[in-house]
Structure formats: structure tokens, C-alpha cells
């Protein structure tokens, strides 16, 4: 009996302890369990408050959850999006092609006008005289500069001199890049006499130079390495020009002839005769023709190579010493009569001419005009330049050609001291370079000791950016 009651008591005690444990776990009173319940109640109440504060958001989320795309609807939506993108790309492409077509049409129209010699960009009215402080003088030759060329990319200038040397200059810094020194008689790979003329191909691949010793040297403009030379003229080489877009070289000489050379093939092609005196100047553009001045024979000649014919023009009262093509149909010349003249191949007389373009000198009653020793033209524009010689007050003058190249109007003058033996515009028209010396490039009739042998880089500023083109 006693054992039965003991077991029952023990079971009852264990049962009471379990009840106590369960009661403590569910107790809402003091202790850890109460804190946990309180935290949970706070979190639940917070969620409830958010739901009650924004019921629309909960409804929207529920609606989004309820809306589901079928595979077919998704494919249709993506296909529409893709088609819309294709349509936008095609519209953009069509717009670009239309712009390119207009641009090409404009260029083709300009090319046609250029070939016909009717392209005349009116930029002269925009030019303003440079500040004297902006004009740079590059010095390096010991004797007078006789000729110069500007590379097609306008980064370098080549100048040649009576000291038989050629110098390559950097336009931006004004420093020498390379120098081809002159040599003694018998030297094969350099000039041994006065260099009178130079030309550079339109792609910048070849540089040609001619001297008093009847030699034409061909150089690599990049390295100034001598490539080969042409011989065949019987007099000094006085003019050189590459046909634009080709490596065909024209040369003029005091032997009164013009020769045609193929530089790519290192070969002679043909000789042209007609001038009655030493040829003093030569120029050409893209057509298979060139123009020359005949010095004391007072003629300008246009040589049509393919037709094997020539046109003869008269107009100056003295020796015609320099010529430059403005476009395929018009040209500018200068001579010792002091005149600057504009010509067209359709007329045997000048379209316009300015006598005593650089003034006169001498005693009263015995005045003589200053010698126009160089001319330059900004291609396919209405702007030309001329340089005078033999005076302490020599100048480079810029001129505006009238409409149809009828008439010349002086824009401004840039004073220089000495003989202006060569003038060249950069292709873009941003600057003009004058090669100046103490003597004339073709002789030593008199000398100006105070003059400096060097290159004058003259910046050409414009008032407006836009250019007007007339047909």
C-alpha cells in the first residue's frame, strides 16, 4: 500500500511541474516571455498600420500579382517593340543618307564648277590686315630665298636659296626640321648651284627642285632623302609644277622649252616649244595643261598637252616674270612693268589690270614702277597677292577680284624689306608665306644690304566664318 501511494505522488508531482513550465512559457506577465510577446505585437501592429495607411498600394500589388502575361501575349509585345526599334533605325538611316546625298551633290556641283573654272569663293571681303606683331620671320639661309612650297597638310614649308640649300620648316613652331645642304661641283645627290624653283605633289609624296645647273632633283619630303634627278634641259630650270592628283611634273627652262616628266616611272615624256625668250614662270592645276610666262617675249601661254596646241596671250608692256592659276580658267600675272593682271583663257587680253600696282620710284619725270616679282592666288577664290622688289619699302599686297574676275581692288599691304621672290597661300587660306631676299632670284642687278633673307609667315584673319560661293 505504501508503495502505491508513493508512485502516485511522484507522478502527480511531475505533472504539476510540467504545468508550471507550460504556464511560464505562455505567461503574459513579468519575465522574458512577456518581452518577446510585446515585440511581436509591436511588429504586427506596425504592419497593420502600414496596410491601413496605404490601402491603394496593397491593392495595386495584388492586382499586379493577379495579371499574368500568356506566352503569346509576351511574344506579340516583344515583336511590336522590335518593329518599333527597326522603324526608328530606318528613319535615322534615311535621314543620314539624305544628308550625305545633299553633301555629295554639293561637292559634285563644286567639282563641276571648279573644272569649268567658274568656282569663285568670295572670301576677300572677310580678310583683315594682320597685326605686325603677328607676322613671323624665319631665318636660316645665308643667301636670298628664291622659292618656297607649303606641304598639302600645311604643317611644313620648304624654302630654297641661292646658297644651294633647302630647309624644311615646322609651321607651328617656326623651327628647322631638316636641311639639305648644297654641295660642291660634281656632287650627284644635292644642288651645286642656285636653286630657282620648287614644287610638291598634291599627295605630298614627292618634292622637286630645279637649279641653275639645269638639274631637277626629286626628294622624299618626309625624310628629305634624295631619290633621283632629271637632266635634259639646256638652260637653268626656272619653273616646276606637279599636275594635281598625279605625279606628272612640268618643268620650264631658260632654254625656252617645257618638258613633261613621269616621276613614278623616273622617265622623260615630251618637250614643248613656242616661247621666244627665257621662260620665267610656270603653273598648273588638275587639267592636262600648264601656263607659262615668257619673260621678254611678253607672252603668257596656255599649253594644251593632249591637243598638242597652245594659246598665246599679250598684255604686259615689259617682261612677264611670274604667273599663278586662280582656277582652271583664270590666272594672275606680274612683270617688271609694275602691272598685276587677271586673265581668262577665253580672251587674249587681260580681263583687268592694275598698272603701277606697287607704286613708282625715281626722280620727278623719270619715275619707274616697282617690279612685281611674285604673285600668288588662293585657288577657286577671289583673293590674289603680289610682291614687289628692289625697295626698302617693298610690300606684299592682297587684292580682291571683282565678280567674274573683272577688276582688282586693293585690300591691304604688308610692308617687307627686300625682294619678294616667292609667294604662296596655304590651301586653307589661313596664312600667306613670302620668301624675301637681298637680291632678285634671277640675278644681281642691285642689292639691298639692310634686307633680311628669310620667310615671312603672314596670318590671314577673317571677320566672318561663312563663305559665299558664286557661279
How many whole angstroms separate alpha carbon 283 and alpha carbon 272? 15
Cβ partners under 8 Å of residue 247, min gap 6: 201, 205, 206, 262, 263, 264
Residue boundaries of the structural domains of the chain: 72-116, 120-470
Residue entry with cell 598665246: 312
CATH top class, domain 120-470: mainly beta
Residue entry with cell 640649300: 165
The predicted structure's pLDDT at residue 305: 93
DSSP of 89-143: HHHHHHHHHHHHHHHHHHHHHHHHHHHHT--EEE-GGGEEPPPGGG-EEE---SS
How many whole angstroms separate alpha carbon 323 and alpha carbon 29? 117
Report in angstroms the alpha-carbon separations of 37 from 19, 25, 45, 50, 125: 20, 11, 12, 20, 93
Per-residue pLDDT tens for 89-144?
888 888 777 777 666 666 665 565 555 556 678 899 999 999 999 999 999 999 99
The predicted structure's pLDDT at residue 34: 44
The predicted structure's pLDDT at residue 45: 45
Burial (CB count <10 Å: 0-12, 13-18, 19+), residue 413: middle
DSSP 243: P
C-beta neighbour count of 101 within 10 angstroms: 10
The predicted structure's pLDDT at residue 293: 95
The predicted structure's pLDDT at residue 275: 96
Low-confidence stretches of the chain (pLDDT < 50) are 1-53, 55, 63-66, 466-467
How many whole angstroms separate alpha carbon 85 and alpha carbon 328? 50
Cβ partners under 8 Å of residue 26, min gap 6: 33
Per-residue pLDDT tens for 244-278?
999 999 999 999 999 999 999 999 999 999 999 99
Nearest Cα to 332, choosing from 310, 318, 353?
A: 353
C-beta neighbour count of 160 within 10 angstroms: 29
How many whole angstroms separate alpha carbon 193 and alpha carbon 229? 14
Q: What is the pTM of this model?
A: 0.74
Per-residue pLDDT tens for 129-185?
999 999 999 999 999 999 999 999 999 999 999 999 999 999 999 999 999 999 888
Cβ partners under 8 Å of residue 397, min gap 6: 357, 358, 385, 386, 387, 388, 410, 411, 412, 413, 414
Amino acid at each position: 500500500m505504501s508503495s502505491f501511494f508513493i508512485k502516485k505522488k511522484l507522478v502527480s508531482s511531475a505533472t504539476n511541474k510540467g504545468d508550471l513550465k507550460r504556464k511560464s512559457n505562455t505567461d503574459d506577465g513579468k519575465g522574458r516571455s512577456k518581452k518577446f510577446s510585446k515585440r511581436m505585437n509591436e511588429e504586427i501592429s506596425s504592419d497593420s498600420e502600414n496596410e491601413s495607411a496605404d490601402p491603394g498600394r496593397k491593392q495595386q500589388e495584388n492586382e499586379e500579382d493577379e495579371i499574368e502575361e500568356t506566352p503569346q501575349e509576351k511574344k506579340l509585345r516583344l515583336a511590336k517593340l522590335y518593329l518599333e526599334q527597326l522603324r526608328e533605325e530606318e528613319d535615322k538611316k534615311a535621314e543620314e543618307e539624305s544628308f550625305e546625298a545633299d553633301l555629295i551633290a554639293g561637292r559634285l556641283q563644286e567639282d563641276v564648277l571648279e573644272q569649268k573654272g567658274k568656282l569663285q569663293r568670295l572670301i576677300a571681303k572677310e580678310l583683315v590686315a594682320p597685326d605686325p606683331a603677328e607676322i613671323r620671320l624665319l631665318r636660316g639661309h645665308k643667301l636670298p630665298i628664291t622659292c618656297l612650297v607649303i606641304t598639302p597638310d600645311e604643317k611644313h614649308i620648304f624654302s630654297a636659296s641661292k646658297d644651294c640649300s633647302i630647309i624644311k620648316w615646322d609651321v607651328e613652331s617656326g623651327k628647322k626640321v631638316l636641311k639639305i645642304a648644297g654641295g660642291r661641283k660634281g656632287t650627284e645627290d644635292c644642288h651645286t648651284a642656285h636653286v630657282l624653283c620648287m614644287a610638291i605633289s598634291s599627295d605630298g609624296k614627292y618634292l622637286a627642285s630645279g637649279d641653275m645647273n639645269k638639274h631637277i632633283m626629286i626628294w622624299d619630303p618626309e625624310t628629305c632623302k634624295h631619290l633621283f634627278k632629271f637632266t635634259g634641259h639646256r638652260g637653268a630650270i626656272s619653273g616646276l609644277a606637279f599636275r594635281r592628283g598625279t605625279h606628272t611634273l612640268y618643268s620650264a627652262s631658260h632654254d625656252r622649252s617645257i618638258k613633261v616628266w613621269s616621276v613614278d616611272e623616273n622617265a622623260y615624256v615630251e618637250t614643248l616649244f613656242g616661247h621666244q625668250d627665257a621662260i620665267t614662270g610656270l603653273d598648273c592645276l588638275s587639267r592636262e595643261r600648264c601656263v607659262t610666262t615668257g619673260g621678254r617675249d611678253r607672252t603668257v601661254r596656255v599649253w594644251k598637252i593632249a591637243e598638242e596646241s597652245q594659246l598665246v596671250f599679250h598684255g604686259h608692256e615689259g617682261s612677264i616674270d611670274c604667273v599663278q592659276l586662280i582656277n582652271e580658267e583664270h590666272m594672275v600675272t606680274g612683270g617688271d612693268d609694275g602691272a598685276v593682271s587677271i586673265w581668262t583663257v577665253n580672251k587674249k587680253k587681260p580681263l583687268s589690270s592694275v598698272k603701277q600696282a606697287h607704286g613708282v620710284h625715281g626722280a620727278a619725270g623719270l619715275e619707274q614702277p616697282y617690279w612685281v616679282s611674285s604673285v600668288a592666288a588662293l585657288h577657286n577664290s577671289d583673293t590674289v597677292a603680289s610682291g614687289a622688289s628692289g625697295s626698302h619699302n617693298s610690300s606684299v599686297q592682297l587684292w580682291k577680284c571683282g565678280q567674274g574676275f573683272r577688276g582688282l581692288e586693293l585690300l591691304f599691304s604688308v610692308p617687307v624689306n627686300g625682294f619678294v621672290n616667292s609667294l604662296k597661300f596655304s590651301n586653307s587660306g589661313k596664312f600667306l608665306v613670302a620668301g624675301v631676299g637681298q637680291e632678285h632670284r634671277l640675278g644681281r642687278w642691285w642689292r639691298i644690304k639692310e634686307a633680311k633673307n628669310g620667310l615671312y609667315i603672314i596670318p590671314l584673319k577673317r571677320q566672318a566664318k561663312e563663305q559665299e560661293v558664286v557661279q
